[in-house]
Amino acid sequence: MIYQRHIPPEELFAAQLEMLMQNGRIATIAANLLGVLATVALFWQFMPLMWLLLWAGGVMVLLLVRSRYMSNALLEQRFRTHPRRVYWGLLLGSVVTGLVWSSAFIAAAPQTPASVHYVFLLLIFLVTILSMGVTLALREYFLAQLFAALWPIAWWCMVHYWDQPYNLLIGWVTLGICALLLLVSNRVYLSIRNLIAVTWEREAMARDLGNLTVSLRDRNRQLRDARRQLTDLANVDELTGLGNRRLVNRVLQEEVNRSRRSGTELAIIMLDVDYFKSYNDNQGHLAGDRVLQQLADVMQRAVNRAGEVAARYGGEEFILILPGLDQDAALDIAGRLRELVELARIPHGDSPVSPYITVSQGIATMQSGSQSLPSDLVRRADQALYRAKAAGRNAIAVTSQ
Ligand SMILES: Nc1nc2c(ncn2[C@@H]2O[C@H](COP(=O)(O)OP(=O)(O)OP(=O)(O)O)[C@@H](O)[C@H]2O)c(=O)[nH]1
């Protein structure tokens, strides 16, 4: 599948946990820590110092444990592998933190003037609201802290409505704030969840597009390779591995054009095995094939400059295309070729000219300024080859324009 439109529920859940821990870790800890400092400053004169320090130390240890829990879960990707376990761990931390605040209020309220513990209650509201924005990636996480922090306070205020004139009112207001935050948090939570889903879809699409691009690039490379192989195969003679007539036609046309354009010389050599029919008749066609392969190797060795081509023109006839060579240079190559064929010493008992295989060669050249066509060049090389045969074979003949 290329593009999945909707985020699967388990992926959404893991993404919520990840976002909560990434964004909420520092913010929750910072908000609670500020709250602790403010509480110590507020209760300094009214509460036993030991009590205060113990409480502050306990809250800090709790925050440290929660922070480590979140960073480990992020590092080990546990929100993906064990999302439910991480979820319950986070909820537990949230509830305990909330209870720390409500219990502090309940413990301090009887011992502090009303104005002070009202300020403390405001502080708890502030910490809760501050952490709302960053912890609402997971609704239950926020609500756990909200209710653990505020419900016990509301309940205590109502139960002790006679202790202070406004306790009953404070209790109801706290419950009202809980209800209001519940409503607001629900809306914020839905927006954040939507945002996570949209981000996931965008990333999934970008990933799939990336994969598609890679596979298209691979497919293109394969197609290019296949096309190159096909072209190579279409230009190669199966028996000898040299270029075939199709390649000769193309290369010759290109070289003639270049020669006309740049005024450089061009030479070709047509080469034919002498008395090959009788060789075939006596040694068999397969032995004849092997001779053609050996001659192809020899020719391959004779052409070693860039641009030079040795090819099988048809039957037992070969051709060498030699760009930039004049008649003398082509004669040198033909002479060397004859030597190489002699050195190969391929026995031919039925040849009147030698006990070994020999070849006849016809050379045609195109001088600078000539307007010859490729077919003219081949025709003249053929005529020269005919003359070499007529001269007794194992010979080289030349025509020039
Ligand atoms: N083994 C083999 N023989 C081939 C192949 N192609 C052409 N021939 C043979 O090459 C021989 C060509 O003979 P001819 O052109 O009549 O002349 P020749 O016997 O070589 O005599 P000259 O060319 O006049 O010296 C024929 O017997 C063809 O069958 C091939 O692919 N393999």
pLDDT in tens, 10-61: 888 998 899 889 888 888 888 888 889 988 888 888 888 898 899 999 999 9
- The first and second tokens of residue 183, run together, are 């409503």
Closest of 304, 320, 325, 329 to residue 368, by C-alpha = 325
Q: Is residue 223 part of a domain?
A: no
Residue from 242, 244, 271, 277 whose mutation best tests the ligand 1 pocket (most atoms within 8 A of CB): 277
* Cβ of 279 less than 6 Å from ligand 1: no
d(CA 274, CA 155): 118
Residues 272 and 182 occupy one common structural domain: no
Predicted pLDDT at 82: 93
Ligand 1 within 6 A of 281 CB?
A: no
Residues above pLDDT 70, as percent of the chain:
98
DSSP state of 138: S
Judge if 17 and 159 occupy the same domain: yes
pLDDT band for position 401 (cuts 50, 70, 90): low
pLDDT at 1: 46
400: pLDDT confidence band, cut at 50, 70 and 90? low
Within 10 angstroms of residue 296's Cβ, the number of other Cβ atoms is 18
Residue 114 or residue 268, greater confidence: 268
Shared-domain flag, residues 97 and 147 = yes
Per-residue model confidence (pLDDT) at position 161 = 84
Active site residues: 316
Q: Considering the domain boundaries, does residue 15 fall inside one?
A: yes
Statement: residue 200 has pLDDT above 50: yes
**Which pLDDT value is given to residue 227?**
92
Regarding whether 141 and 192 lie in a shared domain, the answer is yes
Domain count, the chain: 2
> CA geometry: angle at 186 spanning 183 and 187, to 5°?
95
Whether 2 has a pLDDT exceeding 50, the answer reads: no
Cα of 283 vs centre of ligand 1, distance in Å, is: 12
Q: Whose Cα sits closest to atom 18 in ligand 1? A: 275
- The average pLDDT across 140-160 equals 90
Regarding whether 134 and 48 lie in a shared domain, the answer is yes
Residue pair 248/309 in contact by the 8 Å Cβ criterion: yes
Same-domain status, 25 and 167: yes
Residue 277 Cβ < 6 Å to ligand 1: yes
Residue 233 in any domain: the answer is no
Q: Which of 142-146, 159-163, 298-302, 322-326 has the lowest mean pLDDT?
A: 159-163
Q: What is the pLDDT averaged over residues 366-390?
A: 91
* 320-335 mean pLDDT: 95
At residue 198, what is the residue type? V
